[in-house]
Amino acid sequence: MARRLNGLAFFLILGLLSACDNNKSTSISKPSPSPPTTVATETATSTATSTATSTATSTAMETASPTIDSNSLKKSILQRYDKIKPLHWGENVPGVRSRLQTKDKVIAITFDACGGPEGSGYDQKLIDFLIHEKIPATLFINARWIDANPEQFLTLARNPLFDIENHGFEHRPLSVIGQSAYKIRGTRNVSEVVDEVQMNEDKIEKLTGRRPQFFRSGTAYYDDVAVHIAQDLGLTVVNYSILGDAGATFNTQQVYDALMKAKSGSIVIAHMNHPEKDTADGVIKAVPMLKKAGFTFVKLSSYPLE
Ligand SMILES: [Zn+2]
């Protein structure tokens, strides 16, 4: 099915067709594809290159939106990354954003909804609190969670307090060689990386009319090649600077203590799929204190990320 894709993808295709000069990757003033040679020949992804790529992505998204078949995009990415070996693996590989780029006294709280047999709950108490207190939040939602909570998903998507973002289709660590994290097998190749990202993009867009702009993998682990692929699919990869609930294992006091460590521009990760755990109570305890300390709460889309 043809659909509108961001400009970066368009330039990626153009680049493949014309073998054009990609040496503009350090410029942040013009949209430009991330060069295919970057990962292969250099230290995978320098921070400078990643920043340029991200900036180019957002610029390109605003200025160009040609129609490209998503299969064509996948094909070009398969060709582009087929032989490239990853050099980094973890939560903080180059290209993964973890903070808002600001000195404003703002915090972005993000909640993951992981889905699956043990992670498809809905923390009504937490969401009701956010709505009552008018706390904006960014929700990273997995396809399995959507299937388990279709009504709640649509209700959240309709609420302007919340942005729905992409937490993967099968909730896999994003790897081009099948690396695992927390005993969860990662995607095994470039094709699976594309599917893990793109299939949940398509699902969310179909249900809400809005295509997510941020991606966080299941387990928040990536290799550097997979991060580049997500970027070429038009997404900014986002983790965190504050571990808010450690996979919903923290008790109320631990969640509170974690959130109280937030600074200007912090991104908090916590979970909205474990109502039986203490995440909601910790958030409910911390938010009034953070407000008292002068913080306000924003969505990821409110600031540039670094
Ligand atoms: Zn998750």
- C-alpha of residue 104 to centroid of ligand 1, in Å: 28
**Residues 218, 142: contact at Cβ < 8 Å?**
yes
The full length of the chain comes to 306
Residue of 193, 218, 239, 180 whose CA lies nearest to 80: 193
Do both 80 and 216 map to the same domain? no
- C-alpha of residue 148 to centroid of ligand 1, in Å: 15
Do both 110 and 78 map to the same domain? no
- C-alpha of residue 37 to centroid of ligand 1, in Å: 32
Do both 207 and 74 map to the same domain? no
Do both 110 and 76 map to the same domain? no
Give the least confident one: 11-25, 62-76, 182-196, 226-240: 11-25
- Residue 187 CA to residue 20 CA, distance in Å, equals 31
Do both 203 and 277 map to the same domain? yes
- C-alpha of residue 170 to centroid of ligand 1, in Å: 10
Would 112 be classed as within a structural domain?
Answer: yes
- C-alpha of residue 243 to centroid of ligand 1, in Å: 13
Q: What pLDDT, in 10s, does the model give residues 82-126?
A: 999 999 999 999 999 999 999 999 999 999 999 999 999 999 999
Beta bridge partners of 270: 111
Domain final residue, candidates 31, 62, 89: 89
**Residues 94, 51: contact at Cβ < 8 Å?**
no
Q: What pLDDT, in 10s, does the model give residues 34-54?
A: 433 344 333 333 333 343 344
- C-alpha of residue 218 to centroid of ligand 1, in Å: 4
**Residues 126, 283: contact at Cβ < 8 Å?**
yes
Do both 143 and 274 map to the same domain? yes
Would 30 be classed as within a structural domain?
Answer: yes
**How far is CA 36 from each of CA 15, 120, 134, 147, 237, rounded to the nearest angstrom?**
10, 38, 44, 36, 19
- C-alpha of residue 115 to centroid of ligand 1, in Å: 7
Which tokens is 151 given?
């009504």
Would 94 be classed as within a structural domain?
Answer: no
Do both 15 and 122 map to the same domain? no
pTM of the predicted structure, to 2 decimals: 0.80
- C-alpha of residue 111 to centroid of ligand 1, in Å: 9
Residue 224 belongs to what domain range?
A: 106-302
- C-alpha of residue 225 to centroid of ligand 1, in Å: 20
Beta bridge partners of 158: none
- C-alpha of residue 240 to centroid of ligand 1, in Å: 13
Write phi, then psi, for 266 (nearest 5 degrees): -65, 145
Report the pLDDT value the prediction gives residue 162, as an integer from 0 to 100.
98
The average pLDDT across 55-73 equals 53
Do both 255 and 138 map to the same domain? yes
- C-alpha of residue 171 to centroid of ligand 1, in Å: 6
Do both 198 and 55 map to the same domain? no
Do both 137 and 278 map to the same domain? yes
- C-alpha of residue 131 to centroid of ligand 1, in Å: 22
**Residues 174, 221: contact at Cβ < 8 Å?**
yes
- Number of domains comprising the chain: 2
Would 219 be classed as within a structural domain?
Answer: yes
Do both 19 and 128 map to the same domain? no
**Residues 224, 42: contact at Cβ < 8 Å?**
no
Report the pLDDT value the prediction gives residue 68, as an integer from 0 to 100.
64
- C-alpha of residue 270 to centroid of ligand 1, in Å: 9
Average pLDDT along the chain: 84
